[in-house]
Amino acid sequence: MIKIYTKTGDKGQTSLYTGERLDKNHHIFECLGSIDELNAHLGLSREYCLSLGQDEEPKLAQLEEIQARLIDLGSHVATPRTSGEDQEKKIAHTAFDEANVANLEKWIDEMDLVLPQLKNFILPSGGLASANLHVARTVCRRAERNLIPLYKEEHIDAHAYKYVNRLSDYLFTLARYCAMKEGKPETIYKKAKQAAE
C-alpha cells in the first residue's frame, strides 16, 4: 500500500524524479503546481461537459487524454533534460512525444470547421462548460509563462513547451464549441462608450 503522507517534505523540501532535493518554492515546483492546477480545472470542465450528451463523448475522451498527458508533462518537467549522463534512463523515460502537439492541432482544426467565424473579441461566457474551459485556458496561459525559463535554459524540450502553448488554443476553441452545442450565446466584448464632453 502506498501511504499518502511520507513526512519527507516537512522541512520545506521535496525531490525531483532525479532524486535532487529542492525547496518547495523552487521555480520547477511552481511550474509543476500550475500544471497540476490546470489538470484539476480540466477535471471540473470535463464534468460540466457531460451535459453535452453522448454525441460528444469524443470531446470527453480528448479531455481525459489531455489530463493524462499533463501528468506526462509534469514528469518531464520534474526530470530536467540537463540532469547529466547518470540520469539518461530517467530522461528517456520521461520524454514528451511531439505527436501530442499534432493531436491538439488536429482537434482544433476539426472544431474550427463547424464553428461560426469569430468576428469580435468575446468575454468568457457561453454556459457552465464553456466558462469553466475559459478558466482552464487562463491557468494554461500561466503555466506556459511559468515554463519559459525552463524552456530557455533547455531544462525541457521545445515540444513540451509548445504543447502548453497549443493547449490554450485548444481550450479556447473547445469553450466556443461547447457554447455552440449547448445553444448558449457568447458575450461579445463592447468598448466603453465615450463620455459626452
Digit-by-digit pLDDT tens for the chain (197 residues) are: 778 878 777 677 666 667 777 657 678 889 999 999 999 999 999 999 988 877 888 999 999 999 999 999 999 998 888 887 778 888 899 999 999 999 999 999 999 999 999 888 999 999 999 999 999 999 999 999 999 999 999 989 999 999 999 999 999 999 999 999 999 999 999 988 876 65
pLDDT of residue 91: 87
In angstroms, the first-to-last Cα distance of the chain is 73
Angle at 62 between CA 130 and CA 60, to 5 degrees: 60
Question: Backbone phi, then psi, for 22, in 5-degree steps?
Answer: -135, 155
Q: By three-state DSSP, how is residue 119 classified? A: coil
**Count of alpha carbons within 13 angstroms of residue 97, beta-carbon side:** 11
Return the DSSP state at 86: G
> Number of helices and strands (H, E) in the chain?
6, 2
Question: Backbone phi, then psi, for 155, in 5-degree steps?
Answer: -75, -25
Residue 45's nearest CA partner among 30, 27, 63 is 63
CA–CA gap between residue 173 and residue 115 (Å, rounded): 9
